Structure 1
Amino acid sequence: MNMKTCIILLLLLWSSHSASAQQRVRLNEDWEFVRQDLGGIWEAVRPRKGGNPEDVPLWTRVSLPHCVNATDAVDPDLNYYQGPAWYRTQLAVANPYPGGRTVLHFEGAGQKTEVYIHTTKVGSHVGGYDEFSVDITDAVAAFTKTEAFRKQFNGKVPLSVRTDNGRDLELMPSDLSDFNLYGGIYRYLNLVYLPAVSVDRLFAEAQVDSTGKTGSLDVRARFHAPVASGPATVSVVLKDPRGKVLQRVEKTLADLSGDLPLARFAVRAPRLWNVQDPARYTVLTTVTAGGVASVDSQRIGFRQATFVKKGPFLLNGKRLLLRGTHRHEDHAGVAAAMTEDQMRQEMLLMKEMGVNFIRLGHYQQSRIILDLCDSLGILVWEEIPWCRGGLGGSVYRERGRQMLTNMIEQHYNHPSVIIWGLGNENDWPGDFETFDRDSIRSYMRELNDLSHRLDPGRKTAIRRCDFCKDIVDVYSPSIWAGWYRATYTDYKEISRAEFEKVDHFLHVEWGGDSHAGRHSESPDKALQQVPPAAGNDHSGDAARFAHAARGSKDGDWSESYICNLIEWHLREQETMPWLTGTAQWPFKDFSTPVRPDNPVPYMNQKGVVERDLTKKEAYYLFQSYWTDKPMAHIYGHSMPVRWGDAGEARMIKVYSNCPEAELFVNGSSLGVRTRNSQDFPAAGLRWNAVLREGPNEVRVRARRGATVVEDSLHFEFQTAKWGKPARVVLERVSESDSIVTIQARVLDDKGVLCLDAAQFIRFGLAGDGRLLDNLGTPSGSRAVQLSNGRALIRIDRRGGRSVASAQVATLPTVFLNL
């Protein structure tokens, strides 16, 4: 790890803890869980030890964050569970503040939540993605007076939480959405002790004048205070990015109701927040009442974000091409319940890929992600989960308004946020008997007005609802050149035509699916069937049937094709001076209920990394176009076998941002090539090499000035032609500790590997071990399509004996003793 990365990690660690100045503890351990409903709350508060052994249901121990659908979301044989679930624990409550409040702060739980202290319901919330708090002070005080507190619970307070992600047409988002509506307490839950008077919400509006030389900061606050709290003294301190105190304001407030202005600061020559130097100031607010002080700390940034009418995007007065991606809160083995370390790892990988912009799809995401975007210099489009299905009634609409309000208020101070998203694919009907465009337009106007009232300084946007594109500030049409429509060579032409239709154009969502580990020697063959600029993606995006020929339906889903598609987009974006920017969809493969027949069942596989953050080939392609740190990567690290005729030259591609590179094949130099981003493919860093049958070694040495970077790989070159698949071979390929990796290969009747075999294979296991499956990765699913005639899975032997099996339809099942 280099020094720069270490510094970033230290800053992130500091920032993640500085935002919480009150006494706060994460309630991560000592939880029990049951995935079903209870007959009544009393079933949750029975003694956890020494009770009746015939009590039902059976609770299991878990830690938070925890997702109800950690594994079943990608189980190839089941619909994922949607319904109630319960969590319970016992709290030792000791609020140190006289007259203080004890609060449970949920950073997110899905999708509807009820909270109980013993048998008393103390709060509820609807919405799976915004934060909410439940004041448990009075219920705790009442329970501590009971005999049960002293005898049955040994001085602790029983806490029970019911979550429910069951289908509900009056809830955003729609179950038609291309992502799972997860259940559980899948973000952090905090026990917070507050003084009687404290800051409930602080709004810091940082602005910069047109010259960028003068900044202003308006600070206002909403207080949590008793009705008759008396006067309070408030101090607001502004610190620069180095921690130096710049200014201080103090005042006495007789009335703490409403949103109150606290301070206005003029800042001379502010250090501007940008993607290379995400400088942040600190606003420290202290409110003192009754001799008790409460402190709130917020990190803010000064910056100008401008969408030029019919033109590019400017950050601090200079053009910045937005180089973006997307994120779903989803990860192998845990689904939505990602830890802070996992989130940090994911965002650092994005930054190292060259990302400076992200659309958070399609809902408000964890405060940790926003803090990371602030710290790393990644601009943000964040949106509410009005996604597909149409428009519901009054309850549905009020929930949408509340979600928008919560998102803006909770993430108002983040300098990374430049766009509030109001919806996604709202032209997609299905949930309700009627689909009325006028009603959708009316509601969209209402949300647009609400957003601008809550935050006049940021733009609004939607993606793919053409009949509402005139309402919002920024619009993204649906293009998907080379995947759901047309060919990727039509990308610039289609984009320019869409750009002319709106004042502010931003292209989010492009790319295509790739089955990690699947490669092709002729990836663009399917494009020969696709007429230029043909087709559209206004229905059936997930379907690979009907419609005109297109990449998603007729392509091979190989990494080879997707790399070509992505590179064409990247090279064209460099030649579009009017372009604000784009966001590739998405960074990481994620689970979805609407794609059961994909190569990894129930997975959207458009990521440039797998669901466990394993890099695909496209990750390095993005690096070669978007980053400055010298890098070089030979295409095909996950391609152990290449194929062709004996003596036939095959193209070897290198992705690098260095000006020149030299390739060596089996020890011989094939010469130096010069990089040119417009020389497709591989920006000119490609060589035609005659490979020898059997093992080959390829090495590249790329140079920028005195800096040299290298990469190498080994692969087999197969010249034997294969016939019809005849048998499966199952073999052990590696073992580390108790984890064994096995590989299945499909061969013809002569024992030749069938490199175009793409059937589904199903792994099984009997004995002491356990399949490491339901991970949503090509090597972590017991049912998965072959990649060039092969598939992998891992097994935890657990110190015992097992027998693994592999089954391909029409072929004999095979077994392997472990």
Structure 2
Amino acid sequence: MLATLLAALGAVHAQQKQRLTGGWEFVRQDLGGVWEAVRPVPAGAPESVPLWEPVSLPHCFNARDAVDPDVNYYQGPGWYRTQLTLQNPYPGGRTLLHFEGAGQKTDVYLYTTKVGSHVGGYDEWSVDITEALAAFQQTDEAKTRFKGLVPLSIRCDNSRDLELIPSDLSDFNLYGGLYRYLNLEYRPAVSLERLMAKTDVDAAGKAGTLSVKAALLNPAAGGATPVALRLLDPRGKSVGQFRGNLQGQAGEQPVHQFRVKSPRLWSPTSPQLYTLETTVGSGTQAYKQTEKVGFRHIEFVEKGPFKLNGQRLLLRGTHRHEDHAGVAAAMTEPMIRREMVMMKQMGVNFIRLGHYQQSPIVLNLCDSLGILVWEEIPWCRGGLGGPVYQAQARRMLTNMIQQHYNRPSVIIWGLGNENDWPNDFPEFDKQKIRAFMTELNDLSHQLDPARYTAIRRCDFCKDIVDVYSPSIWAGWYRGIYTDYKDVSRKEFEGVKRFLHVEWGGDSHAGRHSENPDNALVKVSRGEGADERAGDASLFGGSARASKDGDWSESYLCNLVDWHLKEQETMPWLSGTAYWPFKDFSTPVRPDNPVPYMNQKGVVERDFTPKEAFYVFQSYWTAQPMAHIYGHSWPVRWGEEGEQKMVKVYSNCEQAELFVNGKSYGVRKRNAQDFPAAGLYWNVPFKTGPNEVRVVARQGKQTVQDQISFRYQTQKWGKPAKLTLEKIADANGLVTVEAKLFDAQGVQCLDAANWLHFSLAGAGKLLDDLGTSSGARKVQAYNGRAIIRLQARPGQTAVAAASPGLDTVLLPL
């Protein structure tokens, strides 16, 4: 009977929620008031200002200016408007707008009535527009002017505000706009406000329980409300049912506890998900909600590793910022899916979502792909604000835990990041920060006793939380990368539970080096490996790779390679998370090779993998792979007959290298043989074109890779000439390449001069994307840089300029 009821409700359930993506208009400025968004103005009238532009959601009003090299990104208000057809199918039902996130302060208006507000750019929230809708539909305006449509206006504001988290000192943009999905929801008179499903299983996985609590939305509309639960195993087989009643009261109330014998356990290699179907109400007032849950046992061993389901699991992680080329925070679901699948393909089993609650789409993918999660609130840098500031932090922590409580992927609630970073307020009181951190820690455990709490980089609070991550940037901000294990061991011994999140280094995509570690001879040892004030600057201070290194992909690969091979020999290590997976924009790094970009990602801001991506694959994945270093290195250089290193990153047992058709022998993989786990060869190249191929074998499986490049033996001097040529024209995109040559016409293969591209005439330059091939101002990589443009009929010219050199013009 229960199954029949649930099936009958399918048609109604399909109407309950829809994304509001199309039919929007936007203006990036403030209005005098909401009346300016809805007042009648004749089409084309001169007083029809401001000028609105059509957009679709999700939309971020910093999509391009976040990485504009010439301006600060916009921080202020912006308005959205649309007109909706609203028809709630439930008699006496509720109509809601559900925001998956909007930045950073939001006001919502139905016609001229303010129906809701929210502060905080990252948690989910809803606005009930039922009463305002009914009132508006009775007006003459609704019946005559709008003819059944309902005007909706939304004001988003990311203005600077010291009493708002995160701090504007943070190393990421505080974006503005409706940059996550906005949903229209129709609910019956009584429905679910939230459902809390807690799974428990012993370490052996023999016995599991699922405890369900529920809170009703609009409980006053009814008395005792029927509730039905059904639990399905990962194959879709029913393993438990329950029917009962919920009392017409506010707040959570227990519903039922299922007992599951020998549940199928959730893990990164086998993310088994159960389905909990919940129906409240009956007949035309029935409301159905489906949740995915998983059974797993987690333990951070004190002074030891991490265990999942009773077995040690080395957390192999990365980080994610909500940021992408051309759209900034407004990533669509296909974009998000592609990013998370790429992480899984790299071998990730853990992610820290930095530094804020992220889209439910991200969490859905972590659950289904098998990626363990540290998720945190955006109390990031700046110190500690007053009552309004603290109330927001408490509210966002509560929302994050309640909204993602059911997720099997989540194992850690993060309470803060770099809270030892002052300067937003005159007072920086460590004891007050400790007191508030303690309050958040207690609140987290009260809301969810089953998960751990953690912070990163605030040593004077490290004893408060369950898990602590210090600042360790061996080989980048301090020290050299071979210090990594010793520094980590020392930090491990100083805390109850150690987890190392944030390590790595910047690399300018397309820049390579024949001697990438040269800068390390200048770096002092024995000073630790933490990041200190000013270390991120490219000027001043002591020698460090972040300032004095070449920012090549070659150096980053060495740094990553060393860290990964060391992690294989640290049995006490719970795990690490590389910072970050993808390059992202930041207002505090204007001088980087791509201005306003944090370039520590192993993929570029548009998903283009850098070489380091394959280093991770070679250690973390099982599917046989092989990758010769240098796919984006078109010209290598050196002496005639000089032995040059070729590195192959592979997880296979052995590999054979061929250079220009000649075999240079088979090497066996040994993770402790640095670099490239022993898969490296020193071979001669011939002047001019060279072909390199590798054949790697894992059992009976074989994988291959090959690259082509030119080998230059001519020496070069100071850059004296700039050239520009078209190198590709396909699918409406033209690619042009700028090159730097010396006075004798020899390409300067180590030149890192600044280049500035511009365009005149028909077409559009694809700049301000935050990539090495999508920036109008960019440092050269090995004496060259490319940019693309959308070709249009008509005359077009591209120009390239570099300080001290003649500007060059290329008519197209």
* Length-normalised TM-score, structure 2: 0.98
Structure 2: runs of 5+ lacking an equivalent? 1-9
Q: Which residue in the other structure is 1:14 paired with?
A: none
Tell me the alpha carbon deviations over residues 160-209 of structure 1, each in whole angstroms, 9 at most, x when there is no partner. Answer: 00000000011000000000000000000000000001111000000002
Q: Which amino acid aligns with 2:404?
A: H
Query: Aligned match of 1:321 in 314, 325, 337?
Result: 314
Q: What secondary structure does 1:227 align onto?
A: helix
Q: Read off the aligned partner of 1:214 and give its amino acid letter.
A: A
Aligned residues: 802
- 1:222-276 CA deviation, whole Å, 9 max, x = no partner? 0012424122111111111111111111112343322110001111000000010
Is the 1:327–1:359 contact (alpha carbons within 8 Å) kept by the matching residues of 2?
Answer: yes
2:331 aligned partner: 338
Does the Cα contact within 8 Å between 1:22 and 1:295 map onto a contact in 2?
A: no
2:220–2:248: 8 Å Cα contact kept in structure 1? no
5 Å-filtered alignment, 1:159-198, equals 159-198=152-191
The corresponding residue for 1:283 is: 276
Q: Which residue of 1 aligns with 2:67?
A: 74
Residue 481 of structure 2 aligns with an amino acid whose one-letter code is Y
Secondary structure of 1:761's counterpart equals strand
1:489 maps to what in 2? 482
Q: Secondary structure at the match of 1:708?
A: strand
Q: Is the 8 A contact 1:743 1:791 kept in 2?
A: yes
Distance 1:795 1:290, change over 3 A: closer
Partner of 1:6: none
RMSD: 1.4
Contact kept in structure 2, 1:485 and 1:533, CA below 8 Å: no
* Deviates further, 68-77 or 151-160: 151-160
Post-superposition Cα deviations, 1:595-645, rounded to whole Å, max 9, x if no partner, equal 000000000000000000000000011000000000000000000000000
Work out the CA distance in 2 between the residues paired with 1:594 and 1:772: 23
1:290 CA displacement: 7.4
SS in 1 for 2:398: helix
* C-alpha contact (below 8 Å) 2:302/2:497 kept by paired residues: yes
Task: After superposing the two structures, state which structure 1 stretch, 313-322 or 795-804, moved more.
Answer: 795-804
1:311 corresponds to: 304
- 1:703 corresponds in structure 2 to 697
Task: Name the residue aligned to 1:469.
Answer: 462
Secondary structure of the 1:752 match is coil
Report the CA distance shift for 1:230/1:717 in structure 2 as closer, same or farther (over 3 A): same
**Are 1:141 and 2:97 counterparts?**
no
Q: 2:519 aligns with which of 520, 526, 534?
A: 526
- 2:243 pairs with 1:250: yes
Q: Which residue of 1 aligns with 2:398?
A: 405
Range with bigger deviation, 731-740 or 286-295: 286-295
Once the two structures are overlaid, the 10-residue window that deviates more, 441-450 or 789-798, is 789-798
Counterparts of 1:185 and 1:230, CA distance in 2: 37
**Larger deviation, residues 796-805 vs 631-640:** 796-805
The reply to whether residue 639 of structure 1 matches residue 633 of structure 2 is: yes
Alignment equivalent of 1:612, drawn from 603, 606, 609: 606
Mapping of 1:769-784 within 5 angstroms?
769-784=763-778
CA distance in 1, matches of 2:254, 2:214: 7
Where has structure 1 moved over 4 Å in runs of 4 or more?
Answer: none
Alpha-carbon separation, structure 2, partners of 1:800 and 1:640: 32
Q: Distance in 2 between matches of 1:55 and 1:750?
A: 60
Q: Give the aligned partner of residue 158 of structure 1.
A: 151
Give the 3-state SS of the residue equivalent to 1:110 in structure 2: coil
Q: CA shift at 1:145, angstroms?
A: 1.0
Mean alpha-carbon deviation: is it higher for 223-232 or for 58-67?
223-232
Q: Does 1:733 align with 2:718?
A: no
Kept after mapping to 1: 8 A contact 2:635/2:712: yes
2:233 and 2:274 in contact (8 A); partners too: yes
Q: Deviations over 1:571-610 (max 9, x none)?
A: 0000000000000000000000000000000000000000
Aligned residue number for residue 751 of structure 1: 745
In 2, Cα distance between equivalents of 1:49 and 1:675 = 73
Q: Does residue 794 of structure 1 match 2:788? A: yes
SS of alignment partner, residue 451 of structure 1: helix
Contact kept in structure 2, 1:595 and 1:602, CA below 8 Å: yes
**Which residue in 2 is equivalent to 1:3?**
none
2:428 maps to a residue whose letter is F
Identity of aligned residues (%): 67
Instruction: Tell me which residue corresponds to 1:438.
Output: 431
Q: 2:232 aligns with which of 219, 239, 242?
A: 239
Q: In 2, distance between residues paired with 1:211 and 1:127?
A: 41
SS in 2 for 1:441: helix
Give how far 1:760 is off: 0.7
The AA in structure 1 aligned to 2:576 is T
- Cα deviation for residue 799 of structure 1 reads 2.1
Distance 1:261 1:513 in 2: 50
Aligned to 1:717: 711
1:658 is matched with 652
Report the alpha carbon displacement of residue 291 of structure 1 after superposing the two structures with TM.
Answer: 5.3
Kindly tell me: are residues 269 and 748 of structure 1, through their superposed partners in 2, closer, same or farther at Cα, counting changes over 3 Å? Answer: same
1:204 maps to 197
Q: How many Å separate the matches in 2 of 1:144 and 1:541?
A: 59
Quick one: distance in 2 between partners of 1:541 and 1:64? 38
Deviates more, 1:337-346 or 1:251-260: 251-260
In structure 1, give the amino acid aligned to 2:733: I
Asked if structure 2 preserves the Cα contact closer than 8 Å seen for 1:22 and 1:296, the reply is: no
Give the drift of 1:369: 0.2
Match of 1:450 among 438, 443, 451: 443
State the Cα deviation string for residues 94-126 of structure 1 (Å, max 9, x = none): 001001000000000000000000000000000
- Quick check: 336-345 or 736-745, which moved more? 736-745
Q: Is the 8 A contact 1:769 1:796 kept in 2?
A: yes
1:810 to 804, 807, 811: 804
Partner of 2:6: none
**TM-superposition CA deviations, 1:24-74 (whole Å, max 9, x none):** 110000000000000111100034763633221000000000001000000
Aligned to 2:416: 423
Contact persistence 1:21–1:297 (CA under 8 A) = no
Note the 1:354-365 alignment, pairs <5 A: 354-365=347-358
Give the 3-state SS of the residue equivalent to 2:299 in structure 1: strand
How far 1:21 moved relative to its partner?
Answer: 6.7
In the aligned structure 1, how far is the partner of 2:535 from the partner of 2:392?
Answer: 27
Match of 1:587 in 2: 581
SS in 1 for 2:263: coil
Query: Corresponding residue for 2:3?
Result: none
Structure-2 residue corresponding to 1:547? 541
User: For 1:639 and 1:423, how far apart are their aligned partners in 2?
Assistant: 40
Indicate the SS of the match to 2:788: strand
Asked if the contact 2:219–2:249 (Cα under 8 Å) also holds between the matched residues in 1, the reply is no
Does the CA contact (< 8 Å) of 2:736 and 2:788 recur in 1?
yes
Q: 1:527 to 1:254 in 2, by over 3 A?
A: closer
Match of 2:290 among 286, 290, 297: 297
* Alignment-derived partner of residue 509 in structure 2: 516
Matched, 1:675 2:675: no
In the alignment, structure 1 residue 93 sits paired with structure 2 residue 86: yes
SS of 2:618's partner is helix
Q: Residue 738 of structure 1: CA displacement?
A: 2.2
Distance 1:57 1:799 in 2: 31
Give the whole-Å Cα distance in 2 for the aligned partners of 1:149 and 1:254.
38
Residues 477 and 536, structure 2, Cα contact 8 Å, conserved in 1: no
Letter in 2 for 1:744: A
CA distance in 2, matches of 1:158, 1:442: 46
* 1:566 equivalent among 557, 560, 564: 560
Are 1:220 and 2:213 counterparts? yes
Per-residue deviation, residues 643-682 of structure 1 (Å, max 9, x unmatched): 0001111000000000010111001111111110100001
Matches within 5 A, 1:262-273: 262-273=255-266
Q: Which amino acid aligns with 1:605?
A: Q
> Take 2:196 and 2:223, find their aligned partners in 1: how far apart are those partners?
23
CA distance in 1, matches of 2:20, 2:280: 27
> Which residue in the other structure is 2:36 paired with?
43
Classify 1:290/1:632 alpha carbon distance in 2 versus 1 (closer, same or farther; 3 Å): closer
